[in-house]
Structure 1
């Protein structure tokens, strides 16, 4: 990669030589009552260049772009405004009005450059900071937060693992500021809890297969965007102190949390520094029994350290260094006492001798150096970043290994990315720009046991991916997008031997195979295209086609090998075709959105157990479904909303292009989730000092499979019975700086088995969900 780092250095040096006289645009943003608005995003349309308003609603933006330019002013809860600026101005005044749909104002990164949702011809869910903070009143578990708020995301597992929690029936790529947390080479499904939600500014969920960010986004992308200062003050702080516990049985359930964040801006320099520690007590089900430790979150110590330093070293030029460390390990004296699915007897926790080491995230490191700005020839803006990510996930003790053992997934990623955006033409009728760049990635992943035995050998992947994306609009209402990405991937695997495993069905062990390694090469050419028509608020339609690329959990296939060479294993990568059509409708205080989708692939990686041995099925797959969303503001201080998600999928077993034949089968629960219904009621009282919100998540029935010859259900194929969960979040603002918060999780103490416990059928995960629990906290902002 040496020549690319040289190119990177040369690119930065050119910026010092590109200094030009800057134009200043300054002003103030108010609401209708003439009160200033803090935190409004003010950016130049079609670029990443922008600032936010200070506590007085003021902003000052310097640009080297030739005038005229169009400013886009946006903020959650307010309608986006565009203002054309033809000359330098020092007292521009803009008034923003309240909007029904707060998401319309947000800027997303669906195309690797900032854009509004109105420019995105596909389904996107944004969780702004306000929504995250409301959810954190109830729980800090990101798996629960996202499941409750993202249509199309499978039900929460109520554990530390998001295995079986797919997005539209396929695995998703988890990222922090664009840095991949997922390890598609060996997906251990512990990537959703990659950081503490307190350091997240917003979450962007791009649904449907996409190649925009590379390998692994078969079902879409979840991108955690971390905090940046929103005030111009040199020093601000947020302190949170809290305690948690069970309402079904308080004994030994108390936990504690402390969070401290400081941030500010000093001339050209800005910073965010955060430290968080959380310790949970025993987690209990609705009957007051301790939940078993497998993937458990009870008695867990979690640490999060976050640093972000930014320096605007020239007008329109920014350098940024960020680092995040996250660890979450369970330290308990309980062991699992297995239950029985057929007898509906839950797996329980009993005191016992703990085998192995604490399970969980030993350490997740993310280091990112980014340079962004403009001033290149042709008014080109750029975004260049170099990153390093390292994770060590330790799993629970398992008797599936001969003599028992614990596996761990080790992964290190080093990447370098270049993205450029060049405007091509801009007029009152037609505007266009092109985004292009190159991604470089080295990913080394393995899955050994803690004691040193090798389950999945080290896989060393190098990938190179150039890409381009063209966007143009007619009369600012009809937006077209289309793009291309090439994936060139090489993976090296050393010779290895599969492990002997205990076959609990036969009582014996599986045979070990010596497997000859080698090199695997993939070349994929991926396309996307979409259109959106924004003329009428009452009906804004969009449609898109996009392709995704995934190496399909190569490690899972290597560890399950029954041949003596990787050349004899079907390790062909998956190309996913995603078709989507939807609409957004706004009328007064009502917003509706509906979307239908179809996802196909010539290969799959669904699993099944045959005589107690896990096998990977590579038959063609078809997944389809729809999502509906409605939000309505009844009064200025009272809003309601709901969403419904339905997904279905089948295997084309005989590979004839149809999934309606008798031999074709439905995909199991590890891929296709039961339907999900969500809702909320949110209100503010006492002159907005008191905020209340009820959150509802209902999982519906799904039954697609017959019982086996034993009169039971095979793993992944059991029915899911409906259950309903209600959470309560309340916040009272004592004064300008202090708020008291009370959250009740599972308000009505629903006694239930989560969806994964139901469809998996195996005693290791046949655990109940969390019973009623409280979260009390005080938040002090200075």
Structure 2
């Protein structure tokens, strides 16, 4: 011990010396009217040190190294600003920052793209961020989060108008849905009901990363959607937000009236902060444009939804924090209606008729999310660190089906347990070149199955262990050129026990069409090495180009292949994993009060994930795929109280059936509607008056035509190949601030009562989902904030 004592003393002295060469930065962030900008983000460029301003716009950064630094200040609704500061040892540098307003809200801090906080203009790919303000704006019309995202996110397929987002792809591929980085999707048996994973009142921000990415692992073939949960919005011990509302049909109000209540308490005192909220919503009957009740399969009418949310945070120091989050969500349909299926060929819609409902209520029986996170800064080599552990358990119950022997209901059950750790270490090569390296390890155990509610096995338990080390590099050259690149190694092991396929019935003849047979289980293993790289050049606001290449990894929907197995050993089933290559190039252009963004992309994979029915069995096609498309966005602030904007999304894709590396041969076919959405147009107009006390929002969503397939020998269309005819939807909402604390809101969904079939109803061609869209409906609410 004695021989190490001198070395220890030297290290301590060096540490004390290094600590002594620091100062602090204190300041205030104001708008152009000298009013404080609360909760704006303040980051120290070249490091991961940062903070947010309090309700008075004030901030403080302690223990900052001496020398010249640059502060990056951003806030939603304001232009991002860079300020140079000189820090002297033992002194506090005072800074006053004025931010100019921006109607587009372009400088949000995001975490989903790189697993570490950064502003959106540091990411060389296409991202859509929905702020809390944008979410609340759409909630005036609909509280269905699927509708909210569909209206706001370019590249996301049209809303299905139901509780299911099946067929609602992101750029033609499946996406990974998360809550604070905790996966909600079930890629092993993708039931596509993951977008409705929590109540929108529990969401602070939504981050949508488009294009294949492996940053969070398996399942993000088309990108990811990350719901960031609520955080305290006031730097005082106690605040509250109460929301009361009612909604119903404007076409036929009978039995359509529903109610909603949401209560939130939040605050910050000393080092402790908290958010506690609960929401309950009961919907009435949902009606189409003709006033008829919509069918119950995947329906959202007559649904009881509950959400409980708790977030506790404690700041040990200004740079170290522990946070515990729990969210419970349930949404079950309790109805006296049964479906009366229509006829696609005769264009006869499916209806709802009174009758005895069979089985248990369908919907989200329960979704539990428990998440513990430790995070901080100024760790090893001045690194930012994050370590978290999480647990997620969900049971999604589907509608009763006569296709099972004696009938029955299936239920996707999934339990996930995971742990993650990462460090972000800054580096500086020269005055003109600096950046950081993020590196860590993800471990996930996912046990997913699809039994029937009565206990029969349809899809056996699939026990997956996924271990993935990763590294991500970011380099800024001469302040304006940003390079990002990274690597992730996926090692996946899936164990499946022996099982017996379920006996099923031909719905037309009533005969058993699958007698059921024993299948030998076993172990499936996958290894994938995934790369990404991107560049962004921020020198000129008039033209900011970016380009990127990224790979995603997806274990195909193994559950579908297991339940429809026609061989007696899973080793004979084609279950290879899919690696997706995503190429993307785009630009952002800002001049005066106009913002434009355009992006084009190509997505390829050597294996496919589309399916089709053969002899009544769902078969996954493993042929190569190529998808391409582009998206355009425009926002204009005409006046301080008047803004408007529009988006356009186009995507197309084909399968290389003869596998000759060409997608233009006669044998090659287009991907079906379950993958490729028709073109989508959106537009909005916002107008405020009476000193912004009264605001109006007019919103338009248009779905274009897609017709790629010929009639079959039965003079109808195969599943997923029906043509999509255009339709247009218009929503209108108004909000009036009655007092400092009280706001009255009213919204009208489908203002002109468009009588239409949603895109999914058209391309699916099956009577089971040949359902019309929701007709004109109202939503009235009042919000009180104290």
TM-score range, shorter chain: over 0.9
Q: Distance in 1 between matches of 2:539 and 2:130?
A: 26
- The residue number in structure 1 matching 2:678 is 674
Q: Does the aligned pair in 2 maintain the 1:503–1:613 contact within 8 Å?
A: no
Q: Distance in 2 between matches of 1:593 and 1:54?
A: 32
Please list the CA deviations of residues 421-454 of structure 1 after superposition, one character each: whole Å capped at 9, or x if unmatched.
0112164311121110000000000000001010
Alignment of 1:480 with 2:471, yes or no, is no
Q: Distance in 1 between matches of 2:247 and 2:762?
A: 27
Could you tell me how far 1:581 is from its partner in structure 2?
Answer: 0.5
Could you tell me how far 1:314 is from its partner in structure 2?
Answer: 1.8
Please list the CA deviations of residues 381-403 of structure 1 after superposition, one character each: whole Å capped at 9, or x if unmatched.
10111000000100000112121
- The residue number in structure 1 matching 2:459 is 456
- The one of 95, 99, 104 equivalent to 1:101 is 104
Q: CA RMSD in A?
A: 1.5
Structure 2 residues not aligned, in runs of 5+ = 1-14
- The residue number in structure 2 matching 1:83 is 83
Q: How does 1:213-224 map to 2 (within 5 A)?
A: 213-224=216-227
Q: Does the aligned pair in 1 maintain the 2:277–2:310 contact within 8 Å?
A: yes
Instruction: Specify whether residues 468 and 47 from structure 1 end up closer, same or farther in structure 2 by C-alpha distance, changes over 3 A only.
Output: same
Q: Distance in 2 between matches of 1:700 and 1:46?
A: 45
- The residue number in structure 1 matching 2:40 is 40
- The residue number in structure 2 matching 1:340 is 343
- The one of 292, 301, 306 equivalent to 1:303 is 306
Q: Distance in 1 between matches of 2:776 and 2:174?
A: 30
Alignment of 1:74 with 2:74, yes or no, is yes
- The residue number in structure 1 matching 2:283 is 280
Q: Does the aligned pair in 2 maintain the 1:696–1:724 contact within 8 Å?
A: yes
Q: Distance in 2 between matches of 1:270 and 1:426?
A: 38
Could you tell me how far 1:26 is from its partner in structure 2?
Answer: 2.1
- The one of 382, 390, 395 equivalent to 2:393 is 390
- The residue number in structure 2 matching 1:13 is none
Instruction: Specify whether residues 20 and 324 from structure 1 end up closer, same or farther in structure 2 by C-alpha distance, changes over 3 A only.
Output: farther
Q: Distance in 1 between matches of 2:608 and 2:136?
A: 38
Q: How does 1:494-505 map to 2 (within 5 A)?
A: 494-504=497-507
Residue range with higher mean Cα deviation, 663-672 or 368-377 = 368-377
- The one of 240, 243, 262 equivalent to 1:259 is 262
Please list the CA deviations of residues 641-664 of structure 1 after superposition, one character each: whole Å capped at 9, or x if unmatched.
000000001111111111111111
Q: Does the aligned pair in 2 maintain the 1:495–1:517 contact within 8 Å?
A: yes
Q: Does the aligned pair in 1 maintain the 2:210–2:223 contact within 8 Å?
A: yes
- The one of 568, 571, 575 equivalent to 2:572 is 568
Q: Does the aligned pair in 2 maintain the 1:504–1:612 contact within 8 Å?
A: no
Q: The residue matched to 1:271 in structure 2 has which SS?
A: strand
- The residue number in structure 2 matching 1:693 is 697
Could you tell me how far 1:77 is from its partner in structure 2?
Answer: 1.1
Q: Distance in 1 between matches of 2:476 and 2:47?
A: 15
Alignment of 1:429 with 2:418, yes or no, is no
Q: How does 1:2-151 map to 2 (within 5 A)?
A: 23-63=23-63, 68-87=68-87, 88-89=91-92, 91-151=94-154
Structure 1 residues not aligned, in runs of 5+ = 1-16
Alignment of 1:713 with 2:739, yes or no, is no
Q: Does the aligned pair in 1 maintain the 2:46–2:434 contact within 8 Å?
A: no
Stretches of 4+ aligned residues off by more than 6 angstroms:
17-22
Q: The residue matched to 1:28 in structure 2 has which SS?
A: strand
Please list the CA deviations of residues 355-396 of structure 1 after superposition, one character each: whole Å capped at 9, or x if unmatched.
000000010001000010122221111011100000010000
Alignment of 1:225 with 2:228, yes or no, is yes
Could you tell me how far 1:118 is from its partner in structure 2?
Answer: 1.4
Q: Distance in 1 between matches of 2:506 and 2:623?
A: 25
- The one of 643, 646, 664 equivalent to 2:650 is 646
Q: The residue matched to 1:468 in structure 2 has which SS?
A: strand
Could you tell me how far 1:116 is from its partner in structure 2?
Answer: 1.1
- The residue number in structure 1 matching 2:562 is 558
Could you tell me how far 1:89 is from its partner in structure 2?
Answer: 2.7
Q: How does 1:743-762 map to 2 (within 5 A)?
A: 743-762=747-766
Q: Distance in 2 between matches of 1:239 and 1:245?
A: 21
Alignment of 1:156 with 2:128, yes or no, is no
Could you tell me how far 1:284 is from its partner in structure 2?
Answer: 0.4
- The residue number in structure 2 matching 1:12 is none
Q: How does 1:292-691 map to 2 (within 5 A)?
A: 292-425=295-428, 427-504=430-507, 508=511, 509-691=513-695
Residue range with higher mean Cα deviation, 105-114 or 335-344 = 105-114
Could you tell me how far 1:44 is from its partner in structure 2?
Answer: 2.6
Instruction: Specify whether residues 580 and 618 from structure 1 end up closer, same or farther in structure 2 by C-alpha distance, changes over 3 A only.
Output: same
Q: Distance in 1 between matches of 2:199 and 2:62?
A: 34
TM-score by length of 2: 0.96
Q: Does the aligned pair in 1 maintain the 2:47–2:436 contact within 8 Å?
A: no
Please list the CA deviations of residues 44-94 of structure 1 after superposition, one character each: whole Å capped at 9, or x if unmatched.
335554332222222233346565443221111101112233324364211
Q: Distance in 1 between matches of 2:612 and 2:521?
A: 25
Q: Distance in 2 between matches of 1:84 and 1:314?
A: 26
Q: Does the aligned pair in 2 maintain the 1:436–1:467 contact within 8 Å?
A: yes
Q: The residue matched to 1:145 in structure 2 has which SS?
A: helix
Q: Does the aligned pair in 2 maintain the 1:484–1:527 contact within 8 Å?
A: yes
TM-score by length of 1: 0.96
Q: Distance in 2 between matches of 1:58 and 1:585?
A: 32
The number of residues matched between the two structures is 766
Q: Does the aligned pair in 2 maintain the 1:513–1:561 contact within 8 Å?
A: no
- The one of 257, 271, 274 equivalent to 1:271 is 274
Q: Distance in 1 between matches of 2:509 and 2:254?
A: 41
Q: Distance in 1 between matches of 2:169 and 2:579?
A: 17
Q: Does the aligned pair in 2 maintain the 1:478–1:535 contact within 8 Å?
A: yes
Alignment of 1:780 with 2:784, yes or no, is yes
Q: Does the aligned pair in 2 maintain the 1:63–1:316 contact within 8 Å?
A: no
Q: Distance in 1 between matches of 2:386 and 2:273?
A: 19
